[in-house]
Copies of this chain bind each other. A is one copy, B any other.
């Protein structure tokens, strides 16, 4: 237990930017700085080239991760007026499955002249959807072989996961696949850059491996027979191109190297936790130290996570991983593929520079959006259908409807998607008792939280930290540094909201009946559109 205060750094890698959060071991936020990636999401053209990317591609630049996080860290240190030696531990959360091919020494293939004009040599962002056919193929083979690992993933391997993305490269750019020495998650690559060391000892997060890499503590990665059945050339991909050791979040992956210490303005030798998926970091970051609390990390997309004492294979629930989120619990991961992304899409569609008009208008429109309905699959459906090819829809449209109606319908559809997930978990005998919202969205979009509360008929607490995942990462940094003896004591010390700081949204019971009916309509339309 920490009596005197120690300082921790949480690095939270999002889709557009990285955030550095300095926080002490009593949970007092000292400073926080975000830094946007110079290249952002790469969806149109490769950097420094005229190569047009195919639709559904979403790439990133690996140097952005180093440069932006170093800048954000230095700036956070300056803002908090903290000396480098005061920071005793670093935690890292990262989007996933964001992954890349590298050479044996860790050099990303895309940074070699030979490959820089090859799209598939670049890191694929989590939302890159180029592996549609490969995912179908892997699922077909897995079902045909009755692979037991399917049970852990609700019966479906996801379009955004690690092995579909590997297979995509093999099939579309075999030269790149063959030139690749190491396939790894971006979060793992980043931590490896911080701690150095050989390829054989590079730290791979059990969280990323478990949720996105079909890995399991008992059986490891998929076996050779399954991989061979998928494609002969990937039979040995785990042995030959996936070196390293599995390390759990909250365990030190290593210590900061001298060169990285210089770059980040930190002390050489500082312990660095193994990476965790950004959304999953939101669970400790939201102060959820006990089972049965659904932590909803709401952002570009949404991840809804839950720790439970029981292991249940719930059809459609994307992953249940033992110790996947916190030690000692079964971690359930569910999600919605487009949330803030879809809101922003609608904003652009309506030609608005910001959300002022839409939010104000939607708030005055009654539940049901005057007849407009929506299916929120603008980037596919993650939980429970696990189908990245599904598409969004609006229905009930009349000439009297304005963008505000479509926006309200979209918010409601997002809430219905969440309700579907909660009902699935409960029907699958997994208790869901409490609801905490975190991530960026709940803080600047109170309407969405109220609609979620009304549609669920449940109270929702918005955790006061505007940096839930970053705080979660810092907590893991504290654990890696040995500041606390247990994850629950770390979470309680660092992430319990102070009295009055958490906002509680209570459901408006008078809307319940309307939303029950509209939820039925949502499911009916969803059934038709997913036939």
Q: Considering the chains assembled together, what is the distance between the CA atoms of A163 and B14 in angstroms?
A: 62
CB-based contact B399/A396 at 8 Å: no
Contacting residues of chain A (46-78) with chain B, CB-CB under 8 angstroms: 55-56
**Residues of chain A in range 385-408 having any CB-CB distance to chain B below 8 Å:** 391-403, 406
A397 lies within 8 A of B399 (CB): no
Pick out which of these stretches binds chain B: A81-89, A341-349, A484-492: A341-349
| From A341, A350, A392, residue with most partner B Cβ within 10 Å | A392
A391 partner, pick from B341, B397, B528, beta carbons under 8 A: B397
Residues of B within 8 A of A401 (CB): 345
- Rounded to whole angstroms, the CA-CA distance of A393 and B395 in the bound complex is 4
Query: How many angstroms from the CA of A402 to the CA of B341 in the assembled complex?
Result: 14
Report if A397-B403 is in contact (Cβ < 8 Å); known contacts: A349-B349, A351-B351: no
In the complex, the answer to whether A342 meets B395 with C-beta atoms within 8 Å is no
Interface hub of A393, A398, A400 (most chain B Cβ within 10 A): A398
From residue A392, how far is it (CB to closest CB) to chain B in Å? 4
- Interface contact A393-B394, CB-CB below 8 Å: yes
A338: Cβ under 8 A from any B Cβ: yes
Q: Which of B351, B352, B392, B398 contacts A397 (CB 8 A)?
A: B392
A152 in contact (CB, < 8 A): no
B350 near A55 (CB under 8 angstroms)?
no
Task: Given the known inter-chain contacts A349-B350, A350-B351, please indicate yes or no for A396 contacting B397, CB distance below 8 A.
Answer: no
Question: Is A371's beta carbon under 8 Å from chain B?
Answer: yes
State in angstroms the CA–CA spacing of A352 and B398 once bound together.
19
User: Are B403 and A392 neighbours in the complex by a CB distance under 8 Å?
Assistant: no
Q: Which residues of B contact A379 (CB under 8 A)?
A: 398-399
Q: Could you tell me the distance in whole angstroms from the C-beta of A519 to the nearest C-beta in chain B?
A: 18
Q: Which residues of B contact A402 (CB under 8 A)?
A: 348-349
B contact residues around A350 at 8 Å (CB): 349-351
**Considering the complex, which residues of chain A in the window 324-382 have a beta carbon less than 8 Å from any beta carbon of chain B?**
338, 341-342, 345, 348-352, 370-371, 378-379
Interfacial chain B residues near A2, Cβ < 8 Å: none
A529 on the B face (CB < 8 A): yes
With a cutoff of 8 Å between Cβ atoms, the chain B residues found around residue A392 in the complex are: 395, 397-398
Size category of the A interface is 20 to 34
**C-alpha spacing A399/B401, complex, angstroms:** 21
Interfacial chain B residues near A352, Cβ < 8 Å: 351
Report the minimum CB–CB distance from A160 to chain B (whole Å): 14
In the complex where A378-B397, A393-B397 touch, is A403 in contact with B349 (Cβ < 8 A)?
A: yes
Is the Cβ of A395 less than 8 Å from the Cβ of B391? yes
Give min CB distance, A405 to chain B, whole Å: 10
Chain B residue numbers with a CB within 8 Å of A395 are 391-393, 395, 529
Which residue of chain B is the closest to A338 with respect to CB atoms? B399
Instruction: Write the chain B residue with the least CB distance to A55.
Output: B400
CA of A403 to CA of B378 in the docked complex: distance in angstroms? 14
Q: How far is the CB of A52 from chain B (nearest CB, A)?
A: 14
A370 CA / B399 CA spacing, docked (Å) = 24
Q: From A351, which residue of chain B is reached at the shortest CB distance? A: B351
Q: Give chain B nearest CB distance to A105 CB in angstroms.
A: 36
Q: In chain B, what residue has the closest Cβ to A396?
A: B391
Which residues of chain A in 61-117 are interfacial with respect to chain B, using CB atoms and an 8 Å cutoff? none
Asked whether, in the complex, the Cβ of B341 is within 8 Å of the Cβ of A399, the reply is yes
The interface residues of chain B lying within 8 Å CB-to-CB of A397 are: 378, 391-394
| A390 to B: closest C-beta gap in Å | 10
A127's closest neighbor in chain B, by CB?
B399
Question: Considering residues A351, A371, A397, which has the most beta carbons from chain B within 10 angstroms of its beta carbon?
Answer: A397
- Inter-chain CA distance A341–B398, complex, in Å, is 10
For A370, the chain B residues whose CB sits under 8 A away are 55
Chain B residues with CB under 8 Å of A400's CB are 55-56
Question: A56 to B528, alpha carbons, bound, how many Å?
Answer: 29
Alpha-carbon gap, A393 to B528, bound state (A): 13
Q: How far is the CA of A398 from the CA of B406 in the complex (A)?
A: 15
A61 CA / B362 CA spacing, docked (Å)? 33
Known A-B contacts A349-B349, A351-B351; the reply to A342 vs B399 at CB < 8 A is yes
What is the chain B residue whose CB lies nearest that of A357? Answer: B351
Across-interface contacts of A349 in B (CB, < 8 A): 349-350, 402-403, 406
A501 to chain B, nearest CB (A): 34
Residue from A55, A370, A393, A406 having most chain B Cβ neighbours under 10 A? A393
CA distance A371 to B129 in the complex (A): 16
A53 to chain B, nearest CB (A): 12
14 contacts between A and B (CB under 8 A): A55-B370, A338-B399, A342-B399, A345-B401, A349-B350, A350-B350, A350-B351, A371-B391, A378-B399, A391-B396, A393-B393, A393-B394, A394-B394, A395-B395
The 3 A-B pairs at the shortest CB distance, nearest first, are namely A351-B351, A392-B397, A393-B395
List 10 other contacts, CB 8 Å, given A391-B397, A394-B397: A55-B370, A345-B399, A349-B406, A350-B351, A351-B352, A378-B399, A379-B398, A391-B395, A395-B395, A395-B529
